[in-house]
Amino acid sequence: MTRLTGPLRIWGIKYGGMVQPGLDLTQLVFDVCRRSKTPLKDGDIVVLTHTVVAKAEGHKVALDSVTPSDLARAIADKVAKPPEVVQVILEESKRIVRIERHHLITQNEAGVVCANSGVDQSNVDGGRSVVVVPPDPDRIAARYARRFLKLGAKVAVIVTDTLGRPFRIGEVNFAIGSYGIVPFNDLRGKKDLTGRKLRIKRIATADEIAAAAELVTGSSSEGVIGAVVRGYPTRPSRKGASSLQRPFSQDMFV
């Protein structure tokens, strides 16, 4: 039968102030949705940016408190970054993956391979401080989901970061933490329209939802801290976004 499918709806969560340590993001999101006459419903997906989560969780570092090491100073010359920022990046890194063309690619404490360990100066305080990626975004997503449940909404939670991609220009939002949603849809063993069995197809649904959410959150001065996604058929899961990370033993490029 020929027909339309869907719909899938995405609302941005606008916040007029700067997020401060200790802010209850779950209560904020719950209240914003209620005041906007679009209260959270069971099955919704709440998407929050890692910068907002980091600030609320207190993962902020004042650069004037950082003493760069000799290694940080040497790398700073190569990547054209302040040595204090490079020092924070090194402290947040499990390993340096590559230094090339002013780019510092690392694996951060959360296990994500990205530029600068996800250390970010944008939307913090004008460059005097940086925020760092929380070491366990999956655990934070789970805690937020339990908090939403106490408020009366059984929702999934995704924590996102904007990352670059090999061989592609431009950055895309990815899931670095999640709870309450299956991170990827494993289609291996299923058949396509012609009856051919699929052998390698796994859809990173948490990443796709994160990318879609950035269409309404933006990444600069919008003041939109996250999004509510409604209409996607979630399947409850305790498996987090960390399960999407490819082991180094399977990496084809590094």
The DSSP bridge pattern shows strands 60-62 and 103-108 to be unpaired
Bridge partners of 106, per DSSP, are: 96, 114
pLDDT, block means (10 residues), the chain with 254 residues: 88 90 96 96 96 94 96 95 96 93 92 92 83 94 97 97 88 95 86 85 91 88 90 88 86 68
The whole-number pLDDT of residue 220 equals 64
Q: How far is CA 91 from each of CA 61, 85, 116, rounded to the nearest angstrom?
A: 11, 10, 11
Rg (CA), the chain: 19
Give the pLDDT of residue 167.
Answer: 83
Q: Which helix (DSSP H) or strand (DSSP E) does residue 75 occupy?
A: helix 70-79
pLDDT digits (tens, 9 = 90+) for 46-98: 999 999 999 999 999 999 999 999 999 999 999 999 999 999 999 999 999 99
pTM of the model: 0.93
pLDDT value of residue 253:
66
Report phi then psi at 163, rounded to 5.
-125, 155
3-state class percentages of the chain: helix first, strand second, coil last, to nearest 5: 30, 30, 40
Give the pLDDT of residue 254: 59
Residue length of the chain: 254
Would you state the pLDDT for residue 189?
Answer: 82
pLDDT for 183: 92
Q: Is 129 helix (H, G, I), strand (E, B) or coil?
A: strand
d(CA 146, CA 244): 22
CB atoms within 10 A of CB 116: 22
Domains of the chain, CATH where assigned: 1-59+134-245 (3.30.1330.100), 60-133 (3.90.1660.10)
